[in-house]
Every structure is written in C-alpha cells, then in structure tokens.
A and B are shown apart, each in its own frame.
Chain A
Amino acid sequence: MTDSTFRTEMIEAREAPDQSRGVIGWFRANLFNGPINSIISILVILLLARLVWPFLEWAVIDADWIGTTRDACTGEGACWVFISARFESIVYGFYPEAARWRVDIVFALLAILVAWLAIPKMPRKKWVALFTLIGFPIIAFVLLVGGMFGLQHVPTRAWGGLMLTLTIAVVGIVGSLPLGIILALGRRSKMPFVKGVCVIFIEFWRGVPLITVLFMASVMLPLFVPGNIDFDKLVRALIGIMFFWSAYMAEVIRSGLQAIGKGQNEAGQALGLSYWHRMGLIILPQALKLVIPGIVNTFIALFKDTSLVLIIGLFDLLAIIRAGLTDSNWLGFSTEGYVFAAAVYWVFCFSMSRYSQYIERRLNTGHKR
C-alpha cells in the first residue's frame, strides 16, 4: 500500500532557464563535441574550402569587371565584361531601343504592385489586387505590344531576354493558379459532365511533355488552323504553358481540398451558404494555405521551364545568352554566360521560395491543434 499525498500550496509558474549558447557555444556543442566529431568537422571544412575557394577566385577575385570590349579580359578569371557589354540585349532582347522605356514602365509597375500585395501592412489591398488582375494586364499589353495611342508596334518576335522570360512566367503563374483552382473543384464535382471534362483536361495536359506542347503549339497548330488566321507564336506558347501548368496546379490544390474534413463543408451547408460561398470562404482559404509549398514549388518549376521556349525560336533569357556566345567577337565565354543565367534564375526562384516560407509563418495563426 502506498502512502497518500496531498498538496496544499500550488506551484507558481517559473521562467524557463536560459538555453542560448552564442556562436562559439553552438560550434562547440554541435561540431566539436568530442575528438571524432572534431576531426570530421575539420575535414569537411577543409573540403568545402578546397571546392569553394577556386570558384570564388575565378568568379570574384581574378575576374574582370570593367571594360566594353574583349580586350578588357585578361584571361585569369571570369570576364564579366561579356555580360555587361551585352546587358541591354540580355534584358530587352531585340526590343527596339527607342521603345525600351515602355518595358521599364511595365516591369517597374509590376514590381510596385507585387510589392504592395506582398507587404502585409499596405492599405487598400482589395483595390490593388483588382487593378493588378484587370487594369495592369491591359496597360502592359498596350505598352508592350504598342500599335495604338501613337505607340510604335513591336511584334512579339522582337521580344526577348529577361523581359520575355518574366512575361511568360507572370502570365503562366497568373493564368495557371485560377485555372488550376477551377479544375481542382471541377474534378471533385458531383456533376458527371463537369467532372469528366476536368479529369480529361488534367490527365491530357499532365501526360504530355512541355516540349511536345510547345512544338505542337508552334508547328502543328498552324497546320490545322485554316486560312490566314494568324495566332501569334508567343500567344500560342503562353496558352500551352498555362494549360500545362494548370493541370499540375489542379492536382496540388486538389490534395489540399482532400485534406479539409467534410465537417467544414457540412457546417457551411447547414448555415445556408451556397456552393461558391462555401468554397470561396471556407474550403479554399484553408486548402490553399495547406498547399502553399506545393503551389510555390509549381511556380518555381514553371519559372525555370520558361527556358524551354527557346526550342520554338523564342529568345528568352537563356536563349539570348546562348545567342551571344556565337558572336564572333565574344567566342569562348560560355561559362560566364551560363553562370550568369543560373544566377538570375536562382535569384528569382529563391525569392519566391523565401516569400512562401514567410507567408506560411504569417498565416500560421496558431489555430491548428
């Protein structure tokens, strides 16, 4: 038999003991806590230095930065003059020099709008979002294509470089998300026709490689379209990319929808909310939040795969850099070109990834048990 105990005074809550250690403390506790770990840590650090140092030497220390011609390249390290000399064409492609201010305005406006929407504190989100989705595309179209209001017409075959990459990526992202949401909802519909159409659409576009889609859009479609109806090649590519990625997006979003218990929908039904209200106010806000990592993952894949348009003769960032490599004045600078291209892609993709992590943290209002 055990003695019975009882307590008359309750224990007050105390503060947690200090658990911070500082940088040196962290190193000692994690990398050098014992002879074997210390040896492994030192070896790994040496190996990293051995690998990273030559790259830094090539890319930064021995590199040539200043100049306008090939003569500025001394030959030791990287010659970034190759990039700076061609910078304008890398950004604008073959866009006529006199009209490049239009591109500047469009992307400055886009940057402002995206920043406005991305920073939580900014006011009037609803109106800015509405403008971004309706007003901005019209303005961007007028400015980039021209041919009206006295603006010089710039055919899309003159578009290129970073400007083309961003155009494709933005249209792809903005188009594929809503389309993906509709397809995901449609696939879960009880109406056989709606469901069937969505399933066929998704499975078709997921089943073909993007390269095939682009080839079909640029080569085969004109064969089938009768007469002299001339779809712009870029428009065809954009539609192909949008459909292709919306199928992926639909499956990502559907996985979020599956994760929401059916009680949520029932509670909405019991309150008399209509289907679109239930989806828009209850189910989608929760489902989309759950699949932010998947959505951003798809965005990043989309962004990188814009480089595939080079196979149908559109000169995006990568293609324009490759074209520069064949310039007889600048032969032999492919490493610089590709490293630069990789860096640009990485900056954009990494920004998206960081922003998604930030949004996840922000939306995690601690209400999930």
Chain B
Amino acid sequence: MSEVTASPTTAPGSDRPMIEIDHLNKWYGNFHVLRDINLTVTKGERIVICGPSGSGKSTMIRCINHLEEHQQGSIVVNGVPMTHDVKRIEQIRRNVGMVFQHFNLFPHLTVLENCCLSQIWVQKKPRAEAEKTAMEYLERVQIADQALKYPGQLSGGQQQRVAIARALCMRPEVMLFDEPTSALDPEMIKEVLDVMIELAHEGMTMLCVTHEMGFAKTVADRVIFMDQGQIIEEAPPTEFFNNPRSERTQLFLSQILGH
C-alpha cells in the first residue's frame, strides 16, 4: 500500500502483530458495510467490539477468516497475507478459531466427534490422539461427561461451550467470538462467559463481538465501538466506559447501560 493515511493502532506492550487490518473496505452490492477499517491486534491482546446492530462488527471479524470477502485493503493474520487462494485461506483458518452466535455444532455427530472432525481431516491426526485432545478441552469447558451425546440433547450454554472446545482443539492462535451469548437464556450466559474469561487469562488472543459490558470491563485490553461500518472509538475499557470521547459512543453506552 503506497497511500497510508493513518497508521494502524498499536496496543501498548505489544511484541508482534497477530492481525493487521489495513484500509479494509467492503460492499454488499452498493451498500458500503465496512469503511476504511484499520486495526492491529498483537499477540495475547483481548479486544471487545461493540456497536449497534448493522454497524458491521460481525462482518469485520468474519473477514478475518474469510467467511466474508472484502473488496479493498489488506488483512494479514499471523504473518500470512489473505488472498483469494483457497489453500492460503485454509492455512489462515487453521490458525483462527471461531465461535458463532448460533453455535453451529454438527447435529449428526456427537460432541466428541464434533471436536475430532477437523483434527482428523485437517490436521491428519490419528483418531486416538484427536480424541485425547478433544477430551482435554471438553474437560476444560467442563462438559467432558456429555462427550457421547448429540448436540440436540444439550442446553444452549452447554452447546456453546462445546463450540468453544471444538475451536480450541485446533490449537488456534486467535479466537473470534461472534456474539457468543446473544442466543442464550440469561441463566446460561454466565457459564459461557466464565469459559471465555478463563481463556482470556491464559493469554489467548481474542476478538469478541459482544454486548456483555461486564465481560469487556473484566478482560478487555481495548474496547472498539463501531457504527455505520467504521471504527468510531477505541480505548482501554476504563477510559471507554468512563470518558467516551465520541458523542455516538456516549449515546450508545447510555442506551445499553442506562436502564
């Protein structure tokens, strides 16, 4: 890129960048969903992205593992630049775990098989080894006792914890969370957040699209506020919640916190 206008933000105390998004632009037809996004995430950084619906936050993190295609700008993940080449995309995806709003577990496979599938077919691990890794992570999300059940037999919170374990089984460098608690009953949100907080404490690089402001205050290194496809404000959580600079941010915060 020759015409660099604004230097990507770099967090304090960083060593090497894990994700570098530079002048990212994306359109759905004629609709400009992502406008000039610049974002650098360093290894071990925890980032919470919030904003009103339709602001492009999900679209942005979905670009990082190429579930969405962008038209302009560049994305580099763990030193690998994103191209249209399928092999390259699959290489990046192996390093990036993702957790979805609606869990997206494979309903025809047991919990254990869900966790083993990509280990066996992508990482070419022997089944026994894959199952061992899977049980390890299922243990960590405290659901090992349900390993032989089908997803449909579990509660929403349990399913989401399985989804987290499934992503972790690939030993990713980065985890993306796309509104992981939005589809859950209130009493199940905590069990999922606890797992995420634990993961954050272990030093996983995380990008979370979420409206759980408590989670943001506890673990985030940076909070990013998006609106109309652009990053409006980014700041450490104390600053973000106590002294939001932009008027839009203030309005948004007053709406979600002020009831």
Contact = CB atoms under 8 A, between A and B. Distances in A.
A107 B107 CA distance: 38
Interface of B: 65-67, 86, 90-91, 93-94, 96-98, 100, 102, 104-108, 117-118, 121-122, 150-153, 166-167, 170
Interface of A: 261, 263-264, 266-267, 269-275, 277, 281-282, 285-286, 289, 365-369
B153 A366 contact: yes
A321 B184 CA distance: 65
B104 A271 contact: no
B158 to A, nearest CB: 13
A367 to B, nearest CB: 3
Contact of A267 (B86, B91, B100, B122): B100
Given A269-B93, A272-B118, 9 more contacts: A263-B100, A266-B100, A271-B117, A273-B122, A274-B122, A277-B121, A289-B108, A365-B108, A367-B107
A366 B152 contact: yes
B170 A272 contact: yes
24 contacts: A264-B104, A266-B67, A267-B100, A267-B104, A269-B66, A270-B93, A270-B96, A270-B98, A270-B100, A271-B93, A271-B117, A271-B118, A271-B167, A272-B90, A272-B93, A272-B94, A274-B90, A274-B122, A282-B106, A286-B106, A367-B108, A367-B151, A367-B152, A368-B107
A281 B152 contact: no
A contacts with B: majority SS: helix
A273 B118 contact: yes
Given A366-B152, A368-B107, A273 B117 contact: yes
Nearest to A264: B104
A286 B167 CA distance: 21
B contacts with A: majority SS: mixed
Contacts, number: 73
Contacts of A275: 86
Contacts of B121: 273, 277, 281
Contacts of A269: 65-67, 93
Contacts of A274: 86, 90, 122
A286 B117 CA distance: 15
Top 6 A-B pairs, shortest CB-CB distance: A367-B150, A367-B152, A267-B104, A271-B118, A270-B98, A263-B104
